[in-house]
Structure 1
Amino acid sequence: MSLAPRLDLRQTQSLVMTPQLQQAIRLLALSNLEVEGFIAEEIEKNPLLDSGGSDDGPPEEPAASPTEASGPASADELIVNGGGDGEALDVDFASESFIHDGPTDAIGGLDGGLSLSGGASGGGISEDGLDFDSFAGPETSLGDHLLHQAGEVLDGPDLFVAAHLIDQIDECGYLGASLLDVANRLGVPLAQVERVLGTIQTFDPTGVGARNLAECLAIQAREADRYDPCMARLIDNLDLVARGALPQLKRLCRVDDEDLADMIRELRNYDPKPGCRYGGESAQAVVPDLFVARRGQGWAVEINAATLPRVLINRSYYVELATGNRDKASKAWLSDCLASANWLVKALDQRQRTIIKVASEIVKQQEAFFLHGVAHLKPLTLARVADAIEMHESTVSRVTSNKYLSCARGLFELKYFFTSAIQSSDGGDAVSAQAVKSAIKALIGAEDPKKILSDDTLVDLLNARGFDIARRTVAKYREALGIGSSVQRRRQKALEGVG
């Protein structure tokens, strides 16, 4: 066998993901709000792309690409073929079906939605309304609030120490640094640091600057003039309060049942996290990507067009650039921009079609849920939906990621409708895990405080309702719902009865 170097020709097959293919896959997994940010980036990079919300001139029509589209391709076909040469979309952007931003805009018809019995899919955008959140002033952070108070009562070295301590206070209002470490770091006496911390602990909100929960509650008790020896012992034994050890607490605090109940009631009125009143991030409402509404005997499924910006290709600008004297490099760049713009418009349109198709099948499979509630939620898998709409399971998985559906029963993530199956004890149809969780929550919510239901008892009650479920599964579902064990609930009920 010769070991000399040589050249060979070999033919192999490999899957190459073009940039256009990666873009199509990425768009499927993004929510509507994330798509809005993605489009804004693409508009900055591609001069041929334009937002449809501008009133600076007449609206431009989507530009035709060098190749003519033979018809709408499915999402799987786009991914498999990976056609990045750019195809024209036969989309009427002036149609009314592109200006609805909610189910109420389609009252009297199905123009803005897709009916399971055969309707039109909606997509597009209307003019954005007022953003009332923009009128709100910036919130004062906890650190700024404390520094402002420190500047009014302290000066010189004490103010310097206070600024350093305030910087070490977390968002809940607790001081996490050691006072000795602070004193060594700043080169000041420990007594001075303790004195400054005592001043900070008098600031608003009451309880800020505490080093632990007991100190935080003690500060608030002093402020309320309730910090007597009995309350001090109660605060020093918070572990017994958490365990509901009422007889031990009565002996330690030397009080009767009435006084202990009054002390516990007072303790509940205190704030264990005083710093959270300031500087917390404003809660962001979840914006639905889809609307589902009842329409006669069927359902209307509609894209939330209010969160999808309108994207157009600036045809006049393209013609102006194309007709000028340009070198080969400029013409090649312009062709690339046109192909990229056409592909983006097509990918966005196909994304909406795919989302509508998947959501419509989910509504069809879970119609009993939309009619009667969570107890009628059926077991459903991604593969079942993929087979029904003739798409790949990975496509359905991407479509249902980070997307929310709004209906008459509330706001739900699309993943919520995919649950595992629990076999029926009477041989009937299997039920979903969400239905079992709902039943567990209802049973525990209605339990007698004097007769707390154990997991074994819950298993018997669920079996009587037709759910064939094991004790460990009940415990897992109970913990997933954030519900404590029977022992924890019994202690909680005892404290509630005392308070």
Structure 2
Amino acid sequence: MVLSPKLILKQSQQLVMTPQLMQAIKLLQYSNLELTSFVDKELEANPFLERPEAEDSFPASNETTPLEDSQQDRGEDGFDRDLVESQLETSREAVAQNFDSDVASLYPDAAQLPVSTSTLAASKDLMWQAPTHGTITSDSDYNLEAFIADKPSLTEAVMSQANMILSDPIDLLIAQHLCGSLDGNGYLQASVLEISEQLGLTPDAVNFVLERLQRLEPPGLFARSLQECLTLQLKEKNRFDPAIEKLIDNIELLAKHDLQKLKVLCQVDDEDLKDMVCEIKNLDPRPGSHFTHEPLQTVVPDAVVKSDGQLGWRVELNSDALPKVLINQDYYANISKSKRDDEENSYFIERLQTANWLTKALEQRASTILKVCGEIVRQQDQFLSHGVQYLRPLNLKVVAEAIGMHESTVSRVTSNKYLSTPRGIYELKYFFTTAIASSEGGETHSSEAVRDKIKRMIDAESPKKILSDDAIVKALHAEGVDIARRTVAKYREALNIPSSVQRRRQKRSII
């Protein structure tokens, strides 16, 4: 065979991943927070993008699934806006009339004023001045949270007490450094030797301040272990005796509910041991957690499921989770009238194309989320009606085939997305569970439903008859679930449920 160069003409098709296509794929996987951040950056960089007015709504957010759409003739919140506005106008007139009558009854000479009382009521000079702190959206809109005193931090609470018991500036410096070494539970994370080396002081000087700080409120702060934290609190209550000291030194036996060994070590009877354990349980193992007040990141659902009576369920997009952008066509029209060079023309054309792409990509993303959520609701309608025990096995392939999309698209849509249901807010991934075969050859069972059955069995077990993993397997087989013992053990550990031996000690203990 002779090797020689040749020219061959070949025709083929292939998908080219353009930057815009890659970005559109990323938009599907973004959570609502990531999407909002991305849109904000585009608004800053693109002069043709703008936010809509408050009354404008995102076009795709008004869509509903084919399950039912009975509110398209109203606003997205389901109210007749014309009726609401007329009622608000009537309410304003009634408030003004009531204000006039109240002023006339209190101040009879008010009728002689050159300005009407209703005008006076609307005057900013007579309005209550809103506080400057907090979030105030208008002159008459008060935020009650602005009037609530801020909760002090752990460092502020400790230093306010330290200033009353320490007067030396060096001691106060050590106290400030010790406060900076506390974790969120109030435990000291650095050793005395490390702190003394950092400050260039002797360990005795640091210990002197540490011993005084350990007497502050709440008791148990600045402890270096759980045993020391409990000891500080017991000393504060004057309940630290040799017997309870022995109990704290062997606190791991209490965690295992090994009460027989504790009685021998502490040299007490059952009644004394019960009192000691009750005393331990009344202590606070995390005294500094009361000062930790980090803002909670609430989950904003991407879609909402509502009951539609006898018609089933209705799925709607959450408009609050969808960033809203519009293309400013007037601005582009004004720019088009002016003369520009080729570089400026190419820039504006590229920006306009990007703006058009973004609006279409957001609409497509919203439409895809709505389709996926609608199919999930159709598959899991029994879960919405009756609970987790009716959750069906479901995978990405079933949903993808039902809506005519690829599995990878469904996987991206269900990542970091949440669905609000009458039973709570769930991540979309929650509805996709593996199937467990039926022992009778019938319909398969969802792994999440089997977990719920195991939990209910263990919660209902008698202290005199603790269910072992083998007993749970037999009970599940009787209900038609074909499951292995190791699978039951795996599900039990995932639910943080101890073994049968540990549960027997807990339920048969004297506590």
Q: Please, what TM-score do these two structures have when normalized by structure 2?
A: 0.80
Q: Work out whether residues 31 and 402 of structure 1, in 8 Å CA contact, stay in contact via their aligned partners in 2.
A: yes
Q: Given the alignment of the two structures, is residue 51 of structure 1 paired with residue 51 of structure 2, yes or no?
A: yes
Q: 1:144, CA displacement in angstroms?
A: 3.1
Q: Given the alignment of the two structures, is residue 146 of structure 1 paired with residue 158 of structure 2, yes or no?
A: yes
Q: Work out whether residues 121 and 356 of structure 1, in 8 Å CA contact, stay in contact via their aligned partners in 2.
A: no
Aligned to 2:272: 259
Q: Work out whether residues 116 and 298 of structure 1, in 8 Å CA contact, stay in contact via their aligned partners in 2.
A: yes
Aligned to 2:110: none
Quote the Cα distance in structure 1 between the aligned partners of 2:447 and 2:229: 42
Q: 1:285, CA displacement in angstroms?
A: 2.2
Aligned to 2:453: 439
SS at match of 2:314: strand
Over aligned residue pairs, what C-alpha RMSD do you find? 3.1
Q: Which of 276, 286, 300 is the aligned partner of 1:287? A: 300
Aligned to 2:35: 35
Q: Work out whether residues 439 and 482 of structure 2, in 8 Å CA contact, stay in contact via their aligned partners in 1.
A: yes
Offset from partner CA, 1:362-385 (integer Å, 9 cap, x none):
111112212221111111110111
Q: Work out whether residues 289 and 404 of structure 1, in 8 Å CA contact, stay in contact via their aligned partners in 2.
A: yes
Aligned to 1:113: 64
Aligned to 1:332: 346
Aligned to 2:231: 218
Alignment of 1:449-460 (within 5 A): 449-460=463-474
Quote the Cα distance in structure 2 between the aligned partners of 1:464 and 1:384: 29
Q: Work out whether residues 140 and 279 of structure 1, in 8 Å CA contact, stay in contact via their aligned partners in 2.
A: no
Quote the Cα distance in structure 2 between the aligned partners of 1:332 and 1:133: 51
Q: Work out whether residues 389 and 453 of structure 2, in 8 Å CA contact, stay in contact via their aligned partners in 1.
A: yes
Quote the Cα distance in structure 2 between the aligned partners of 1:235 and 1:303: 55
Q: 1:220, CA displacement in angstroms?
A: 0.9
Q: 1:310, CA displacement in angstroms?
A: 2.1
Q: 1:139, CA displacement in angstroms?
A: 4.6
- Corresponding letter in the other structure for 2:46: N
Specify every segment of 5 or more residues in structure 2 that has no aligned partner in the other structure, as ranges.
Answer: 82-136
User: 1:242 and 1:121, CA in 2 relative to 1: closer, same or farther beyond 3 A?
Assistant: farther
Offset from partner CA, 1:123-175 (integer Å, 9 cap, x none):
x9889x99969746655332333233323322322112222222222222111
Aligned to 1:23: 23
Aligned to 2:389: 375
Offset from partner CA, 1:170-213 (integer Å, 9 cap, x none):
22211122212322333322222111111111122321100100
Quote the Cα distance in structure 1 between the aligned partners of 2:272 and 2:143: 49
Quote the Cα distance in structure 2 between the aligned partners of 1:399 and 1:116: 20
User: 1:325 and 1:10, CA in 2 relative to 1: closer, same or farther beyond 3 A?
Assistant: same
User: 1:330 and 1:120, CA in 2 relative to 1: closer, same or farther beyond 3 A?
Assistant: farther
- Corresponding letter in the other structure for 2:47: P
Quote the Cα distance in structure 2 between the aligned partners of 1:139 and 1:334: 51
- Corresponding letter in the other structure for 2:454: I
SS at match of 1:302: strand
Q: Percent identity?
A: 49
Q: Which of 232, 236, 248 is the aligned partner of 1:235? A: 248
Offset from partner CA, 1:60-107 (integer Å, 9 cap, x none):
xxxxxxxxxxxxxxxxxxxxxxxxxxxxxxxxx698x85x7xxxxxxx
SS at match of 2:300: coil
SS at match of 2:53: coil
Quote the Cα distance in structure 1 between the aligned partners of 2:254 and 2:177: 34
Q: Work out whether residues 290 and 304 of structure 1, in 8 Å CA contact, stay in contact via their aligned partners in 2.
A: yes
Aligned to 2:324: 310
SS at match of 1:114: coil
- Corresponding letter in the other structure for 2:465: K
Offset from partner CA, 1:338-366 (integer Å, 9 cap, x none):
11111111111111111111111111111
Quote the Cα distance in structure 1 between the aligned partners of 2:185 and 2:8: 67
Q: 1:458, CA displacement in angstroms?
A: 0.7
- Corresponding letter in the other structure for 1:231: I
Q: 1:453, CA displacement in angstroms?
A: 1.1
Q: Which has the higher contact order (CA 8 A, sep 6+)?
A: 1
Quote the Cα distance in structure 2 between the aligned partners of 1:449 and 1:322: 82
Aligned to 1:482: 496
Aligned to 1:197: 210
Q: Work out whether residues 48 and 315 of structure 1, in 8 Å CA contact, stay in contact via their aligned partners in 2.
A: yes
SS at match of 2:224: coil
Q: 1:9, CA displacement in angstroms?
A: 10
Moved over 6 A (4+): 6-14, 118-122, 124-127, 129-134
- Corresponding letter in the other structure for 1:445: D
Aligned to 2:414: 400
Count residues with an aligned counterpart.
445
User: 1:137 and 1:439, CA in 2 relative to 1: closer, same or farther beyond 3 A?
Assistant: same
Alignment of 1:162-173 (within 5 A): 162-173=175-186
Q: Work out whether residues 459 and 469 of structure 1, in 8 Å CA contact, stay in contact via their aligned partners in 2.
A: yes
Q: Work out whether residues 293 and 301 of structure 1, in 8 Å CA contact, stay in contact via their aligned partners in 2.
A: yes
Q: Please, what TM-score do these two structures have when normalized by structure 1?
A: 0.82
Q: Which of 487, 492, 495 is the aligned partner of 2:506? A: 492
Q: Given the alignment of the two structures, is residue 181 of structure 1 paired with residue 194 of structure 2, yes or no?
A: yes
Quote the Cα distance in structure 2 between the aligned partners of 1:461 and 1:94: 52
Q: Work out whether residues 125 and 307 of structure 1, in 8 Å CA contact, stay in contact via their aligned partners in 2.
A: no
- Corresponding letter in the other structure for 1:145: A
Alignment of 1:74-93 (within 5 A): none
Q: 1:114, CA displacement in angstroms?
A: 2.2
Q: 1:387, CA displacement in angstroms?
A: 0.9
Q: Work out whether residues 244 and 494 of structure 1, in 8 Å CA contact, stay in contact via their aligned partners in 2.
A: no
Quote the Cα distance in structure 2 between the aligned partners of 1:9 and 1:332: 38
Q: 1:307, CA displacement in angstroms?
A: 2.3
Q: 1:294, CA displacement in angstroms?
A: 2.0
Q: 1:276, CA displacement in angstroms?
A: 1.5
SS at match of 1:293: strand
- Corresponding letter in the other structure for 1:398: R
Q: 1:33, CA displacement in angstroms?
A: 3.3
Specify every segment of 5 or more residues in structure 1 that has no aligned partner in the other structure, as ranges.
Answer: 1-5, 60-92, 101-111
Higher-Rg structure is 2
User: 1:8 and 1:373, CA in 2 relative to 1: closer, same or farther beyond 3 A?
Assistant: same
- Corresponding letter in the other structure for 1:321: I
